[in-house]
């Protein structure tokens, strides 16, 4: 058995993949890269002989077929030069390596961000290169603590201030963190040190910013703690507009939740997105084409 | 080398089935909605020679060869299952269903002829005794296929029954009540199609290991008989016979499936007029042939696997109130030595 691939490779795994200087394709394995280069870029079009390098092919063409090789076949326009001796990953100029790594990195974060947006899951390996999952913060809780929080929670409700971002809201699932009931004071502060920094994208990531629209408050796992009995106010919303903004939050959250659902369904079975743009040429579900043909009349037979 | 030609004299209406004789790879039967069964020698002269034509009183929906190259069985819209003597042209009605009869199939090993009808029954004929029995199905029969030991019945409502042919033979042998002689035979396995849409065709692997089925929604599923978890987890389905036009996916039904008798690979034919060859074990497409001029309604490999007959007719689509005009032709493709060979086989 081969090792099961991680569904989404980490940045390091992507950076480690061998890739072809000439066409920027990447491969699982150095051997495959080399055979790719021999087949695509270093193959003689006269006799199909596969050489190891562009230089080798040039010499071969010269000596065997009396022809001059001018460029590397199937290469990107700026990589057709014969002067650079490439074999596998060897010989690639440093600046090209840097450029490639940069592209892989930015693409990696873009994909990650897109995935986080679609699924609502937190960005896992925010500090990508580590390849480690950010561990969930373990919350130590005692029975007393929980009981106390229940009492406070009930008081909260009695006071009319339902925590819109705490526990139990049906639209919550998009919230990326485990839905800890969030009640400012009662939470032992010591257990929450890592949360503010939590799963936010690395500061260097240029793609992080535009994703967080101000209305998407509910995705913010932990709004700033507020005194109990008062609904938490999303920053920037004046008190008067509170009700309206709550409605807006709920509807946008519900929409997000639906998006997530769609995305998941798309992954599981036939892609539901595509489904809309599909036309079945024949779409009966109990009657076969032949039975319909019989009913046309022309073929009917009266026994 | 591979080459392809079309028969010179073709039926005038839709082709419902093409079948090669068991012992001769140039003897071909074609049944048609024009109420005829045609017998050809495909290589007697260029374009094949029409040897004989057997007229029926209603459109013929399926045909199969029997115990030898001179015996055939047909069924059709007139509810009858008939035996045809290809030498004399004599027709005998073996049994009558209560509805149109969609399929007939013959198992040489068990000497059984099975017909499947839209009246939700199978008729099982024991050819050695001329006894026959009726088996009730939960829904309409849409497709039949036999492997050396099993019969697979694909039905409407996506049901699928797998019978042991030996069970069927035994049941018929033990019961000789007058027609309809209903017998109770429990299927060896009952399955639901692994595809969401109506089953269109089913075909058994020649090595008796499993079967492929196709649906009206451009999909083919490959499954194994062996009920063990390991075998069942190998089953899969894939999309095919689709094309994208202006961003819209047009999905064609997969009308026909046929296994290659030697290599165990299979061909699928769809409403898009495409025939594709697949390696079901390695999950690879081996090749896809150039588009035929109309929908592929039926296909058959010859017994030695050298030829592939393809019945091409205009496809019936949603919303049609008459059959469209179009090409009705039988194509014979001569396969190259390794043309239908799977990936694993070619390594040897």
Residue A279 has pLDDT above 90, yes or no: no
- Give pLDDT tens digits for B144-170: 999 999 999 999 999 999 999 999 999
Structure confidence at residue A202 (pLDDT)? 43
Residue A207 has pLDDT above 50, yes or no: no
Residue with tokens 């809780």: A141
Beta B210-215 vs B248-251: how paired, if at all? unpaired
Question: B74 to chain A, minimum CA–CA distance in Å?
Answer: 16
Band of residue A272 on the pLDDT scale cut at 50, 70, 90: very low
Structure confidence at residue A245 (pLDDT)? 57
The residues pairing with A208 across neighbouring beta strands, listed in sequence order, are none
Chain A contacts of B217, Cβ < 8 Å?
Answer: 280, 283
B288 phi, psi to nearest 5 deg: -130, 135
Percent of chain A with pLDDT over 70: 53
- The number of C-beta contacts closer than 8 angstroms across A and B is 91
Cα gap B122→B103, rounded to integer Å: 9
Mean pLDDT score across all residues of chain A? 68
Residue range A284-293: average pLDDT? 86
Residue B306 has pLDDT above 70, yes or no: yes
Residue A250 has pLDDT above 80, yes or no: no
The stretches of B105-238 forming alpha helices (DSSP H) are 165-174, 229-232
Mean pLDDT score across all residues of chain B? 91
Chain B contacts of A296, Cβ < 8 Å?
Answer: 321-323
Chain B residue set in contact with A, beta carbons under 8 Å? 14, 16, 33, 57-59, 61, 77-79, 100, 102, 118, 140, 142, 156-157, 196-198, 200, 216-217, 247-253, 271, 315-318, 321-323
The residues pairing with B64 across neighbouring beta strands, listed in sequence order, are B73
Phi-psi region of B131 (alpha: psi -120 to 50; beta: other; left: phi over 0): beta
Nearest to B79 by CA among B59, B61, B96: B96
The answer to which of A18-22, A68-72, A232-236, B251-255 has the lowest mean pLDDT is A232-236
Structure confidence at residue B2 (pLDDT)? 64
Cα gap B323→A41, rounded to integer Å: 53
Question: B33 to chain A, minimum CA–CA distance in Å?
Answer: 7
Residue A156 has pLDDT above 80, yes or no: yes
Cβ–Cβ below 8 Å for A301 and B61 = no
Cβ–Cβ below 8 Å for B250 and A279 = yes
Structure confidence at residue A259 (pLDDT)? 52
Omega of the bond prior to A279 within 30 degrees of 0, cis?
A: no
CA distances from B199 to A141, A276, B142, B154, B213 (A): 56, 22, 7, 7, 7
Instruction: List the structure tokens of A114.
Output: 């897109």
Residue A185 has pLDDT above 70, yes or no: no
Structure confidence at residue A242 (pLDDT)? 52
Cβ–Cβ below 8 Å for A288 and B33 = no
CA distances from A152 to A77, A141, A185, A198, A221 (A): 68, 15, 10, 26, 20
Structure confidence at residue A83 (pLDDT)? 85
Structure confidence at residue A212 (pLDDT)? 42
Residue with tokens 């090595």: B207
Structure confidence at residue A210 (pLDDT)? 43
Per the CB < 8 A criterion, the answer to whether B259 and B265 are in contact is: yes
Per the CB < 8 A criterion, the answer to whether B11 and B30 are in contact is: yes
Per the CB < 8 A criterion, the answer to whether B29 and B41 are in contact is: no
Write the residue in B100, B157, B253 that is nearest to A294 by C-beta: B100
- Give pLDDT tens digits for A231-247: 444 444 445 445 555 55
Angle at CA of residue B168, ends B167 and B173, nearest 5°: 100
Per the CB < 8 A criterion, the answer to whether B175 and B181 are in contact is: yes
Residues B3, B9, B11, B17: what is their CA dihedral angle, to the nearest 10 degrees? -40
The answer to which of A195-204, B202-211, B336-345 has the lowest mean pLDDT is A195-204
From B197, which residue of chain A is nearest by alpha-carbon distance?
Answer: A285
Residue with tokens 């460029």: A71
Nearest to B18 by CA among B5, B6, B32: B32
Cβ–Cβ below 8 Å for A288 and B217 = no
CA B68 to chain centre: 18
Band of residue A225 on the pLDDT scale cut at 50, 70, 90: very low
Residue A198 has pLDDT above 60, yes or no: no
User: Can you tell me the ipTM of this complex?
Assistant: 0.87
Helices A242-268 and A94-119: angle between axes, nearest 10 degrees = 110
For B306, which DSSP code?
S
Instruction: List the structure tokens of B36.
Output: 């005829």
Chain B contacts of A303, Cβ < 8 Å?
Answer: 78-79
Other Cβ atoms less than 10 A from the Cβ of A170: the count is 9
Q: A163: exposed, middle or buried (C-beta count within 10 Å: 0-12, 13-18, 19+)?
A: buried
- Give pLDDT tens digits for B121-134: 999 999 988 889 99
Instruction: List the structure tokens of A175.
Output: 């919230």
Band of residue B83 on the pLDDT scale cut at 50, 70, 90: very high
- Higher per-residue confidence, B38 vs A287: B38
Structure confidence at residue B178 (pLDDT)? 82
- For the residues of chain A, what is the DSSP string, one character each? -PPPPPSS--HHHHHHS-B-TTT--B-SSHHHHHHHIIIIISB-TTT-PBPSSHHHHHHHHHHHS-----S-TT--GGG--SSS--BTTBT--HHHHHHHHHHHHHHHHHHHHHHHHHH-PPPTTTTGGG-PPPPPPP----HHHHHHHHHHHHHHHHTT---SSSS--TTGGGSSS------GGGS-GGG-TTTTTTTPPPTT-TTSGGG--GGGGGGSSSPPP--TTSPPPPTT--GGGHHHHHHHHHHHHHHHHHHHHHHHHHHHSS-HHHHTTEEES---SSS-HHHHHHHTSTT----
Cα gap B147→B190, rounded to integer Å: 16
Structure confidence at residue A256 (pLDDT)? 57
Cβ–Cβ below 8 Å for A294 and B140 = no
Structure confidence at residue A224 (pLDDT)? 43
Cβ–Cβ below 8 Å for A300 and B247 = no
Cβ–Cβ below 8 Å for B249 and A299 = no
Cα gap B306→B335, rounded to integer Å: 5
Chain A contacts of B102, Cβ < 8 Å?
Answer: 288, 290
Cβ–Cβ below 8 Å for B248 and A278 = yes
Chain A contacts of B247, Cβ < 8 Å?
Answer: 277
Chain B contacts of A268, Cβ < 8 Å?
Answer: none
Question: B340 to chain A, minimum CA–CA distance in Å?
Answer: 26
Band of residue A162 on the pLDDT scale cut at 50, 70, 90: low
Contacts (Cβ under 8 Å, ≥6 apart) of B165: B107, B109, B110, B112, B146, B149, B150, B151
Residue range A43-48: average pLDDT? 88
Other Cβ atoms less than 10 A from the Cβ of B159: the count is 20
Band of residue A252 on the pLDDT scale cut at 50, 70, 90: low
Cβ–Cβ below 8 Å for B77 and A279 = no
Residue range A168-192: average pLDDT? 42
Band of residue A271 on the pLDDT scale cut at 50, 70, 90: very low
Question: A23 to chain B, minimum CA–CA distance in Å?
Answer: 26
Residue A124 has pLDDT above 80, yes or no: no
Write the residue in A281, A283, A291 that is nearest to B118 by C-beta: A291
Instruction: List the structure tokens of B166.
Output: 């030996």
From A286, which residue of chain B is nearest by alpha-carbon distance?
Answer: B156
Structure confidence at residue A168 (pLDDT)? 41
Q: Mutate which of B99, B247, B317 to test chain A, going by most A C-beta atoms within 10 A?
A: B317
Per the CB < 8 A criterion, the answer to whether B76 and B58 are in contact is: yes
- Give pLDDT tens digits for B251-267: 999 999 999 999 999 99
Residue B214 has pLDDT above 90, yes or no: yes
Structure confidence at residue B103 (pLDDT)? 96
Angle at CA of residue B192, ends B187 and B197, nearest 5°: 140
Band of residue A48 on the pLDDT scale cut at 50, 70, 90: confident
From B318, which residue of chain A is nearest by alpha-carbon distance?
Answer: A282
Contacts (Cβ under 8 Å, ≥6 apart) of B307: B20, B25, B26, B42, B301, B332, B333, B334, B335
Nearest to B219 by CA among B248, B189, B249, B246: B249
Residue with tokens 């007939």: B104
Write the residue in B79, B271, B323 that is nearest to A303 by C-beta: B79
Question: B294 to chain A, minimum CA–CA distance in Å?
Answer: 13
Question: A278 to chain B, minimum CA–CA distance in Å?
Answer: 5
The answer to which of A124-138, B101-115, B228-242, B320-334 has the lowest mean pLDDT is A124-138
Cβ–Cβ below 8 Å for B253 and A281 = yes
Chain A contacts of B58, Cβ < 8 Å?
Answer: 299, 301
Residue A248 has pLDDT above 70, yes or no: no
Structure confidence at residue B69 (pLDDT)? 92
């Amino acid at each position: 058995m081969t090792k099961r691939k991680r569904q989404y490779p980490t940045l390091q795994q992507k950076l480690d993949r061998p890739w072809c200087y000439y066409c920027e394709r990447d491969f699982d394995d150095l051997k495959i890269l080399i055979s790719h280069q021999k087949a695509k870029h270093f193959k003689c079009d006269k006799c199909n002989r596969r050489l190891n390098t562009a230089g080798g092919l040039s010499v071969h063409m010269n000596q065997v077929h009396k022809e001059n090789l001018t460029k590397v076949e199937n290469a990107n326009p700026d990589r057709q030069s014969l002067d650079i001796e490439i074999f596998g990953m060897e010989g690639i100029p440093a600046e090209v390596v840097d450029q490639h790594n940069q592209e892989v990195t930015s693409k990696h974060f873009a994909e990650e961000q897109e995935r986080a947006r679609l699924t609502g899951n937190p960005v896992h390996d925010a500090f990508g290169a580590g390849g480690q999952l950010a561990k969930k913060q373990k919350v130590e809780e005692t029975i007393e603590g929980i009981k106390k929080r229940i009492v406070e929670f009930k008081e909260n409700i009695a006071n009319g201030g339902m925590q819109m971002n705490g526990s139990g809201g049906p639209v919550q699932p998009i919230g990326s963190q485990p839905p800890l009931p969030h009640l400012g004071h009662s939470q032992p502060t010591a257990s929450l040190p890592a949360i503010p920094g939590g799963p936010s994208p690395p500061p260097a990531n240029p793609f992080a910013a535009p994703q967080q629209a101000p209305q998407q408050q509910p995705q913010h796992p932990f709004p700033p703690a507020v005194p109990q009995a008062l609904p938490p106010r999303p920053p920037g919303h004046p008190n008067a507009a509170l009700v309206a903004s709550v409605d807006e939050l709920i509807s946008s959250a519900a929409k997000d939740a639906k998006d997530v659902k769609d995305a998941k369904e798309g992954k599981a079975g036939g892609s539901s997105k595509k489904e809309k743009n599909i036309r079945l040429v024949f779409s009966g579900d109990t009657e076969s084409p032949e039975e319909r043909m019989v009913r046309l009349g022309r073929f009917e037979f009266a026994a | 080398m591979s080459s392809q030609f079309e028969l010179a004299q073709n039926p005038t209406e839709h082709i419902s089935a093409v079948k090669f004789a068991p012992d001769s790879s140039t003897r071909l039967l074609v049944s048609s909605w024009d109420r005829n069964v045609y017998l050809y020698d495909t290589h007697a002269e260029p374009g094949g020679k029409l040897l004989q034509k057997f007229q029926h009183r209603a459109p013929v929906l399926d045909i199969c060869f029997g115990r030898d190259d001179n015996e055939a069985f047909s069924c059709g819209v007139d509810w009858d299952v008939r035996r045809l003597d290809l030498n004399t042209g004599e027709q005998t009605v073996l049994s009558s269903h209560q509805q149109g009869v969609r399929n007939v199939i013959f198992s040489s090993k068990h000497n059984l002829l099975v017909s499947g009808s839209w009246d939700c029954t199978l008729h099982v004929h024991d050819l050695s005794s001329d006894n026959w029995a009726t088996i009730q199905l939960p829904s309409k029969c849409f497709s039949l296929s036999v492997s050396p030991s099993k019969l697979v019945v694909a039905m409407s409502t996506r049901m699928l029954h797998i019978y042991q042919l030996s069970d069927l033979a035994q049941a018929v042998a033990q019961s000789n009540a007058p027609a309809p002689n209903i017998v109770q035979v429990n299927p060896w396995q009952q399955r639901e199609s692994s595809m969401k849409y109506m089953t269109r065709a089913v075909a058994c692997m020649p090595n008796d290991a499993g079967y492929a089925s196709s649906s009206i929604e451009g999909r083919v599923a490959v499954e194994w008989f062996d009920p063990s978890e390991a075998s069942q987890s190998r089953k899969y389905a894939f999309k095919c016979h689709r094309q994208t036009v202006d961003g819209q996916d047009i999905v064609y039904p997969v009308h026909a499936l046929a296994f290659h008798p030697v290599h165990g690979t299979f061909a699928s034919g769809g409403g898009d007029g495409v025939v594709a060859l697949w390696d079901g074990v390695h999950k690879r497409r081996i090749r896809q042939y150039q588009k035929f001029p109309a929908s592929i309604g039926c296909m058959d490999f010859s017994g030695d696997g050298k030829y592939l007959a393809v019945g091409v007719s205009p496809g019936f689509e949603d919303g049609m109130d008459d059959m469209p005009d179009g090409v009705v032709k039988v194509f014979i493709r001569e396969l190259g030595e390794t043309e239908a060979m799977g990936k694993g086989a070619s390594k040897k």
